[in-house]
């Protein structure tokens, strides 16, 4: 042992899966119907990355059958703490573990939860999971420059804007810039 071995009062361990409003859990086959509905709702998918075409039930089922969550693909269903209602999903994906870097994706599919702090709490909870459980050094994401609500949330929890990809995405008849944002360990608020 190094130095004095004075007994430190132990902090009450809070669940690494839980925030103030939501809980992260593994995805289940029973989630299919809600996810299928959300990912075919253009209002939900407007600012998501790849969801340009309608998706089939089979595609949705296949997605839910993937292994995980694990270090390579830490994907979660998001449910409310109050009544365990499924409201969305969030993912941290890593490629080369030496970099300790993950890419974050989030969707709050339940529109009654928009503007209620659920997205912010989901972001904080998954980032805390990334740093405290996965031992990540960096979490990055991209979002449409037009997605002002999301950008405000990301900045609020500590993400910094790192770059703009001009005319990166074409949808609904025009091009949109993509904003690259990053959060390093120690920066989560």
Residues that bind another protein (CB under 8 A): 71, 94, 96-100, 133-135
Distance CA 118, CA 127 (A): 14
Nearer to another protein, 30 or 132 (CB): 132
Smallest distance from another protein to CB 102, Å: 10
Residues 6+ apart with CB under 8 A from 101: 94, 136, 137, 138, 139, 140
Smallest distance from another protein to CB 126, Å: 15
Smallest distance from another protein to CB 187, Å: 19
Nearer to another protein, 44 or 134 (CB): 134
Distance of CA 149 to the CA centre of its chain: 15
- Strands 86-94, 22-25: pairing is unpaired
Nearer to another protein, 39 or 131 (CB): 131
Nearer to another protein, 26 or 65 (CB): 26
Distance CA 189, CA 182 (A): 13
């Amino acid at each position: 042992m190094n130095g004095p071995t004075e007994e430190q009062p132990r902090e009450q361990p809070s669940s690494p899966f839980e925030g103030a409003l939501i809980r992260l859990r593994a995805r289940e086959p029973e989630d299919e119907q809600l996810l299928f509905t959300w990912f075919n709702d253009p209002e939900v998918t407007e600012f998501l990355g790849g969801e340009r075409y309608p998706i089939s039930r089979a595609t949705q089922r296949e997605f839910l059958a993937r292994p995980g969550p694990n270090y390579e693909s830490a994907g979660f269903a998001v449910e409310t703490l109050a009544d365990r209602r499924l409201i969305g999903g969030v993912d941290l994906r890593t490629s080369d573990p030496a970099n300790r870097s993950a890419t974050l994706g989030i969707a709050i599919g339940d529109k009654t939860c928009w503007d209620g702090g659920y997205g912010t709490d989901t972001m904080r909870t998954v980032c805390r999971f990334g740093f405290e459980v996965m031992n990540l050094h960096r979490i990055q994401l991209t979002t449409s420059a037009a997605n002002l609500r999301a950008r405000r949330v990301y900045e609020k929890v500590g993400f910094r804007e790192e770059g703009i990809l001009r005319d990166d995405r074409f949808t609904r008849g025009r091009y949109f810039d993509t904003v690259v944002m990053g959060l390093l360990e120690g920066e989560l608020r």
